[in-house]
Chains A and B, each alone.
Chain A
Amino acid sequence: MIDTVALAMLGGSLRVSTPFLFVSLGECLTEKAGRINLGNEGVLVLGAMVAYATSYETGNPWAGIAAAAIAGLLLGGLHGAICSLTRVNDVAMGIALMLAGTGTAFFFGKPYVQPSAPLLPGIPLGFWSDSPQLRNALNVCPLFFLGLLAAFVMHWGFRSTRMGLRIRIVGDSQDAALALGLPINRTRLFATAAGSALAGIGGAFLSLYYPGSWNEGLSSGQGLMAVALVVFARWNPINCIYASLLFGAAGALGPSLQTVGVTWGYYLFYAAPYVVTLTVLILTARGGTALRGMPGQLSIGR
């Protein structure tokens, strides 16, 4: 029975972690540039809806992913552009964007709740095994690998590309950025838009792979939890992978136990990711000390 639970959790973790991975990478990119985007929850939901609708209309789920990325790019661009104005608070703006994103998605998404769109195929990495559970667990979405690739590209980019280093300078020291003559607002606009494009892809995963449908209760706060996840990952893209897998495993705990017939404390296990989020925030926020690795210009840290 332990084996079954572990297997179910492995599979669940690979599945559930993917949206966490995309949103946290997107949030990490934005925060590295010194801005926080709480609106990624809205981007996630809008991305899910746009991806599902596009996939239904065109018959191609990959077109849906592209559309979700573009929707994220636009919504994130809006956030970035408005926050470039003086005296706009990025936290308040992010909350407005979150509500705007989910609202827009619900409004335009109504007609797509019923029809079923073509979904993304999984990659059957468990083909060598006879065990149906193992094959099921190792049926992994291609987006997961895209997310891993994105994490490694970002990790390399923050160290070895002009754009990556510029993002870090702008996010860490506004004085230094001004002295170097860097375009601060443009850099942040780019980082916010690109980050939200990633969050949009995370949304596409929800509607096109797992759970694989569009409805208004699709997201359960992954976009907001990603903010905690980035703190936990110390603003490091590679750590975002581990953190997402951990959150994914926590999220898979409830369903996994259900598969083996544990009905006791059902809702409690479903709450595991939220408990993990709370614990992470409490442990990292202790003593009012500044966090190591935190970009110096983040409004929540100043």
Chain B
Amino acid sequence: MTAIGIEAIDIGKHFGSFHALSGVSMKVAPGSVHGLLGENGAGKSTLVKCLLGYYKADTGSFLVDDREATIERPADADALGLGMVYQHFTLVPSMTVAENLVMSRRDVPAAIDWRAEKAALGEFMRGMPFKVPLDAEVGTLAAGERQKTEIVKQLYLQRRFLVLDEPTSVLTPQEATEMLGLVRDLAHSGQLTIVIITHKLKEVAAFVDEVTVLRRGRFAGAGLVKDLGAADLTAMMIGEPHAPANPERLGEPAAEIRLAVRDLRTAADGGRKGLSIAALDVKAGEIVGIAGVSGNGQKDLVEVLGGQRPIEAGEVLVDGTQYDASRAQSQARHVRVLPEEPLRNGCVPPMTVVDNLNLRAFDTANSRLWLDRSAMAARAASMIAAYGIRAPSPIVPIGVLSGGNVQRCVLAREFDGDVRLLVLANPCFGLDVKAVAETRARIMAARNQGTAVLLISEDLDEILELSDRVAVMHDGEIVHQMPAAGADPQEIGRHMLGHH
């Protein structure tokens, strides 16, 4: 197997009146690791989907090993040896690694001789730089192992050009470093060419040879990573010379404990253990970050605090008294929650943007029997302006908005008014660099004014930047707590994996 080089020339693609790509070019040298950078919606996915035959480009052409290639269907890309590892894994969780590998082939025989297949797979695995257990069910593998299985699958299919879409978003720092290192070695040995779609500049600096940057569907720059600094890359991505500054942390957390979780347990769910948290405190004016590999109970904790999940034992105290997350109590104690998947967990999709922005307070705004629609509209209008929510109109159903705009709506609603305890799950998910900076500034401002913030995030950098204290979750338990200042990401990563 030898790596192949790809060149995209002047690619354009539109969906209706929306130009997702216009005149984008990218040159990927064989045997290199190429970074494809850009903010959400910059057109990265569209470009690679054109390359892999999922979309047909309107204009432009692709060269594969300097020869023009017609790629109209995924099968065409397959035949050329081009493959992709998706952000959301496409392995079947209830099947074993061996079954997944064999079924990914095009020429599966009608009846499968497992003894012969296993022998062949064992032989193939011996030549692999990393091992995955063939007989394990994919659903039981850790995220890092699954990612490796995806890559092994692509190699099994004899791919010589591989796109990795945000490959480290579900990995611990160790897993990410290991995986990217292995992938880089594969590329530099000349077996494979790699394109990594990412927005993590640290990974770019450490593992990528060359980058192409897109901004709003256009080419924004390219070059060798060794010639470019993080500032240059950020400038290309957001089109402004400077990245927004980090928000300032003012004062120390108060002594007053606002949220206290004691011996909390929830029932097991879907083969996973429930929560088992001995003690977790958040003080007034403090941000406590919860780090952990996703699926280790973070979602359950948010659901408990948001009233979506019953507790089996233990207690949740807000301001020293029992808190049951009912509507009356959340209003009385000023507790707000930004859940995961906010459209599903924090909105009523068919109701309008105005209605959804008023969900927290519509029933307390006045004491009449009917709602004050004009006050609701005015309140919504001020939130839409303050948070830059892009909606065709305030009275469209919130379900039609993009993910980033739904996130803005829920943020606007949950930050509104007097907030004493704020629970945030991945608050910057799906936002662009500027909105991320604004949101982080708002979180910090709330903290500085004395709000207690529990920040649950898959982005370890975000946790380290914002938190006063970090707690690590593994398998439903808080396994480690430490001050955020001077915390070592490698150590946090070890705890995330359950190695203490």
Contact A162 B109 (CB under 8 A): yes
Using C-beta atoms within 8 Å of the partner chain, give the interface range for chain B.
20 to 34
Name, among B86, B90, B92, B95, the residue most crowded by chain A CB atoms within 10 Å (CB to CB).
B92
Q: Mark B107-118, 1 if CB is under 8 A from A, else 0.
A: 011111110000
Cβ contacts under 8 Å, B16 to chain A: none
List the B side residues contacting A172 at CB < 8 Å: 92-95
Report yes or no: B103 in contact with A289, Cβ–Cβ below 8 A: no
Instruction: Say whether, besides A169-B92, A169-B95, A172-B95, A289 and B108 are in contact (CB < 8 Å).
Output: no
0/1 string, A212-255, CB within 8 A of B gives 1: 00000000000000000000000000000000000000000000
Interface string of A254-295 (1 = CB under 8 A from B): 000000000000000000000000000000000111101101
Distance in angstroms between the alpha carbons of A173 and B75 in the assembled complex: 21
- The interface-forming segment of B41-49, B263-271, B484-492 is B263-271
Tell me which residues from 412 to 435 in chain B have a Cβ below 8 Å from any Cβ of chain A.
none
Neighbouring A residues of B382 by C-beta, 8 Å: none
Would you call A160 and B112 a contact (CB within 8 A)?
Answer: yes
CB distance from A43 to the nearest CB of B (A): 27
Residues of A within 8 A of B397 (CB): none
In the complex, A91 has a CB within 8 A of chain B: no
Asked if A176 and B92 make an inter-chain contact with CB atoms under 8 angstroms apart, the answer reads yes
CB contacts (< 8 Å) of B92 on chain A: these are 168-169, 172-173, 176
Closest to B268 in A: A289
Pick from B88, B103, B113, B270: contact of A165, CB under 8 Å: B103
Cα distance A160–B102 when bound, in Å?
A: 11
Query: Does B189 reach chain A (CB closer than 8 Å)?
Result: no
Cα distance, A169 to B75, chains bound together (Å) = 19
Given contacts A160-B112, A162-B110, A168-B92, contact A180 B271 (CB under 8 A): no
Q: Is the beta-carbon distance between A287 and B267 smaller than 8 angstroms?
A: yes
Q: How far is the CA of A302 from the CA of B95 in the complex (A)?
A: 19
Q: Does A123 contact B (CB under 8 A)?
A: no
Decide: A179 and B269 in contact? CB cutoff 8 A. no
> In the complex, what residues of B have CB within 8 A of residue A287's CB?
267-269
User: In angstroms, how far is the closest chain A Cβ from the Cβ of B93?
Assistant: 7
> Which residue of chain A lies nearest to B100 when distances are taken between CB atoms in the complex?
A176
List the B side residues contacting A161 at CB < 8 Å: 110-112
Q: How far is the CA of A292 from the CA of B140 in the complex (A)?
A: 12
Cβ < 8 Å to A, chain B residues 236-275: 267-271
| Nearest opposing residue in chain B for A156, CB measure | B111
Q: Which positions 159-199 of chain A face chain B at CB distance < 8 Å?
A: 159-163, 165-166, 168-169, 172-173, 175-176, 179-181
Taking the complex as formed, is B91 at the interface, i.e. its CB lies under 8 A from any CB of chain A?
yes
Complex contact A165–B112 (CB within 8 A): yes
In the assembled complex, A296 has its CB within 8 A of some CB on chain B: yes
A198 CB, nearest partner CB in chain B, Å: 20
**Chain A interface, DSSP helix/strand/loop, else mixed:** helix
B104 close to chain A: CB less than 8 A? yes
Q: Are B103 and A166 in contact (CB under 8 A)?
A: yes
Q: Name the residue on B nearest A293 (C-beta).
A: B94
Q: Report the Cα distance A188→B348, complex, angstroms.
A: 32
Tell me if B477 is interfacial: C-beta within 8 Å of chain A: no
Complex interface: chain A residues within 8 A of B74 (CB): 181
Partner of B93, one of A162, A166, A173, A289: A173
From B90, B110, B112, B113, contact of A175 by CB (8 A)? B90
Instruction: Give CA–CA (A181, B106) in the complex, Å.
Output: 10
A296 → chain B closest CB, angstroms: 7
**Chain A residues with Cβ under 8 A from B112's Cβ?**
160-162, 165
B137 to chain A, nearest CB (A): 11
Kindly state the separation between the CA atoms of A76 and B14 in the bound complex, as whole angstroms: 42
Interface: B99 (CB within 8 A): yes
Which B residues between 60 and 102 are near A, CB-CB below 8 angstroms? 74-75, 86, 88, 90-95, 99, 102
Interchain CB contact under 8 A, B267 and A168: no
Are B103 and A159 closer than 8 Å at their CB atoms? no
Most buried by B among A168, A173, A292: A173
Q: In the complex, are the beta carbons of A289 and B269 less than 8 A apart?
A: yes
Per the bound structure, the CA–CA distance linking A163 and B112 in Å amounts to 10
Which chain B residues lie closer than 8 Å to A169 at the CB level?
A: 92, 95, 103
Given contacts A173-B93, A176-B90, A179-B86, contact A160 B271 (CB under 8 A): no
Q: How far is the CA of A168 from the CA of B340 in the complex (A)?
A: 29
Question: Which residues of A sit under 8 angstroms from B271, Cβ to Cβ?
Answer: 290, 292
Q: Which of B75, B90, B94, B102 has the most CB of A within 10 A?
A: B94
Distance of A290 Cα from B94 Cα, bound (Å): 14
Question: CA A168 – CA B268 in complex, angstroms?
Answer: 26
The answer to whether A159 and B114 have CB atoms under 8 Å apart is: yes
Do B270 and A160 touch across chains, with their CB atoms under 8 A apart?
A: no
CA distance A181 to B93 in the complex (A): 17
Q: Which residues of A contact B102 (CB under 8 A)?
A: 165
Q: Could you tell me if B94 and A289 are in contact, using CB atoms closer than 8 angstroms? A: no
- Cβ of B109 and Cβ of A290 under 8 Å apart? no
Which residue of chain B lies nearest to A179 when distances are taken between CB atoms in the complex? B90
Query: Nearest chain B CB to A73's CB is how many angstroms away?
Result: 21
Q: Which residues of B contact A160 (CB under 8 A)?
A: 111-114
Contact call A163/B91, Cβ cutoff below 8 A: no
Min C-beta distance of B103 to chain A, whole Å: 5
Residue of A nearest to B90 (CB): A179
Query: Which among B75, B95, B109, B110 has the greatest number of chain A C-beta atoms within 10 A?
Result: B95
Q: How far is the CA of A220 from the CA of B130 in the complex (A)?
A: 57
- Do A176 and B91 contact each other (CB < 8 Å), given the known contacts A181-B74, A181-B75, A287-B267? yes
The complex places the Cα of A162 from the Cα of B103 at a distance, in Å, of 8
In the complex, chain A residues whose CB is within 8 Å of the CB of B88: 175
CA distance A172 to B94 in the complex (A): 7
Q: Is the CB of A290 within 8 A of B104?
A: no
User: Hey, which chain B residues are within 8 Å of A180, CB to CB?
Assistant: 90, 103-104
**Which residues in A have their C-beta under 8 angstroms from that of B109?**
162
Quick check: B110 and A289 within 8 Å, CB to CB? no
- Nearest B residue to A286 via CB reads B267
Inter-chain CA distance A295–B93, complex, in Å, is 10
Q: Are A168 and B269 in contact (CB under 8 A)?
A: no
Interfacial chain B residues near A290, Cβ < 8 Å? 269-271
Instruction: Report B107-150 residues with CB < 8 Å from chain A CB.
Output: 108-114
How distant is B300 from chain A, measured CB to nearest CB, in Å? Answer: 12
> Chain B nearest CB: distance from A194 CB in Å?
16
**CB distance B111 to A289 under 8 Å?**
no
Return the chain A residue nearest B108 by Cβ: A162
Chain A nearest CB: distance from B345 CB in Å?
Answer: 16
Other A-B contacts than A160-B112, A169-B92, A173-B93, 20 sampled, CB-CB below 8 A, are A161-B110, A161-B111, A162-B110, A162-B111, A163-B110, A165-B112, A169-B103, A172-B94, A173-B90, A173-B91, A176-B90, A179-B86, A180-B90, A180-B103, A287-B268, A288-B269, A289-B268, A289-B269, A290-B270, A296-B93
Task: Please list 18 pairs of residues, one from A and one from B, whose beta carbons are closer than 8 Å in the complex, sorted by A's number.
Answer: A159-B99, A160-B114, A162-B108, A165-B108, A169-B95, A172-B95, A173-B90, A173-B92, A175-B88, A175-B90, A176-B90, A176-B92, A179-B86, A180-B103, A287-B269, A288-B269, A289-B269, A295-B94
| Interface set of B (CB-CB < 8 Å, partner A) | 74-75, 86, 88, 90-95, 99, 102-104, 108-114, 267-271
Query: A-B pairs with the 5 shortest C-beta distances?
Result: A290-B270, A179-B90, A162-B108, A176-B90, A176-B92
